[in-house]
C-alpha cells in the first residue's frame, strides 16, 4: 500500500495512513433556452489524471463530496466539489441565452441567441483555474453582424475548446475509471428551419442536441436549446466525481449513498460518485 502513517496530531487519528489520490471533478451542465434558444455550456472539468498533482486523503476520515445537478431550462448547472485535505471545485455550466439574450458564464459558457447584442456567448473557466475548467460559448454581436444570420441560437462551450458555430463544442476523454469516457460537451443551438437554419447538434461528451431532452447525466453535458418548431427545453447533464486511490483494495473504501460505487482497476480503488455523498478509506 502506498502512503505514509500519520503518527502525530492532525486531521487523522494517530497511526492513520495518508494516501495520495487522483481525482476527476465535473460540474452539472447548463440548461438550454426556448424559442431559438442557445445551447448551454458543459459543466466545469478538473482532473489530476493522468500526470497531474495528486491530493491527500487520510484513512479513517469521512469526506464530503458534492455532485452538481444539471441546470433546468434557462439556468446554470450546479457546482461540484470534493472536500478532502484539499478542496477541489468545478463550476456549473452556463445556461444558453434565450432569443435575444446572451449566454451565461460558467465552467463552460452558454451560447447567445439571435438578436443578442452581447459578445461571443458566455465565457468559460468561471473559477479562474489553471488548467482551465472549460471554454466559451458562441454568439452573435447583433442582427446582421459578422456571425449572421441572427435568427438562431448558437452552440455552448465544451472542454475541447471554444464553440465556433451553432453546434456545441466537443468534450474531452479521460480514463481515470479504467475506461476511456468523454465528458463535458456543449449543447447545440436552437435553429429556425423555416429560414434554413437547422438545429445544432450537441458536442461529444454528453452535449444535448437542439430540441432534445438535455445533456447526459454523469457527463456534465450542456443541454441543447429549443428551435422554433420544437419548444422542448432540456436539462443539463448532472456532474460526477471520481477518486482513484493507488494500491488500496476496493473493499477498504466506503461510499454513500449506495448509488455511488467502488471498483478495482489494476489494484487501485476507484470511487465513482454520481450523486452527493461521502467517502472513507478504512
* Residue 249 to residue 221: CA distance in whole angstroms: 31
Side-chain half-sphere of 69: how many Cα atoms within 13 Å? Answer: 6
Q: What is the DSSP letter of 6?
A: E
CA dihedral 46, 241, 49, 62 (to 10 degrees): 110
For residue 1, name the pLDDT band (cuts at 50, 70, 90): very low
The domains of the chain are located at: 26-46+64-238
Pick the residue with more confidence: 198 or 40? 40
- Cα 99 to the center of its chain, rounded Å: 24
Q: What is the 3-state secondary structure (H, E, C) of 9-74?
A: CCCCCCCEEEEEEEEEEECCCCCCCCCCCCCCCCCCEEECCCCCCCEEEECCCCEEEECCCCCCCC
Distances (CA, A) of 258 to 65, 80, 274, 278: 14, 19, 10, 10
Tens-place pLDDT, residues 123-177: 999 999 999 999 999 986 544 444 455 678 899 999 999 999 999 999 999 999 9
Only one residue has cell 441546470, namely 71
Q: What's the pTM?
A: 0.92
φ/ψ of 154, rounded to 5, equals -105, 170
For residue 74, name the pLDDT band (cuts at 50, 70, 90): confident
Candidates 139, 108, 95, 103; CA nearest to 122 is 103
Q: Inform me whether the pLDDT recorded for 2 exceeds 70.
A: no
Distances (CA, A) of 142 to 40, 131, 149, 151, 160: 19, 32, 9, 10, 26
Tens-place pLDDT, residues 178-236: 999 999 999 999 888 777 788 899 999 999 999 887 999 999 999 999 877 666 788 99
Residue 233 corresponds to which cell in the numbers above? 427545453
Q: Inform me whether the pLDDT recorded for 116 exceeds 80.
A: no
Amino acid at each position: 500500500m502506498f502512503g505514509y502513517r500519520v503518527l502525530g496530531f492532525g486531521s487523522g487519528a494517530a497511526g492513520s495512513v495518508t494516501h495520495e489520490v487522483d481525482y476527476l471533478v465535473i460540474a452539472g451542465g447548463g440548461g438550454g433556452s426556448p424559442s431559438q434558444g442557445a445551447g448551454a455550456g458543459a459543466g466545469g472539468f478538473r482532473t489530476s489524471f493522468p500526470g497531474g498533482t495528486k491530493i491527500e486523503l487520510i484513512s479513517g476520515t469521512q469526506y464530503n463530496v458534492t455532485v452538481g445537478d444539471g441546470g433546468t431550462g434557462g439556468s446554470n448547472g450546479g457546482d461540484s466539489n470534493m472536500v478532502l485535505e484539499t478542496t477541489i471545485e468545478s463550476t456549473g455550466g452556463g445556461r444558453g441565452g434565450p432569443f435575444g439574450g446572451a449566454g451565461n458564464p460558467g465552467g463552460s459558457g452558454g451560447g447567445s441567441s439571435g438578436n443578442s447584442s452581447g459578445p461571443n456567448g458566455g465565457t468559460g473557466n468561471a473559477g479562474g483555474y489553471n488548467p482551465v475548467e472549460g471554454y466559451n460559448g458562441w454568439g452573435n454581436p447583433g442582427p446582421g453582424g459578422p456571425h449572421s444570420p441572427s435568427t438562431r441560437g448558437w452552440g455552448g462551450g465544451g472542454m475541447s475548446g471554444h464553440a465556433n458555430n451553432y453546434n456545441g463544442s466537443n468534450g474531452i476523454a479521460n480514463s481515470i475509471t479504467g475506461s476511456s469516457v468523454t465528458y463535458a460537451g456543449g449543447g447545440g443551438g436552437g435553429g429556425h428551419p423555416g429560414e434554413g437554419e437547422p438545429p445544432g447538434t450537441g458536442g461529444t461528451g454528453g452535449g444535448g442536441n437542439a430540441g432534445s431532452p438535455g445533456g447526459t447525466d454523469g457527463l456534465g453535458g450542456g443541454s441543447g436549446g429549443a428551435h422554433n418548431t420544437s419548444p422542448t427545453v432540456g436539462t443539463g447533464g448532472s456532474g460526477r466525481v471520481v477518486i482513484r486511490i493507488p494500491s488500496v483494495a476496493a473493499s477498504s473504501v466506503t461510499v454513500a449513498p449506495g448509488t455511488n460505487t467502488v471498483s478495482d482497476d489494476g489494484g487501485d480503488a476507484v470511487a465513482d460518485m454520481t450523486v452527493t455523498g461521502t467517502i472513507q478509506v478504512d
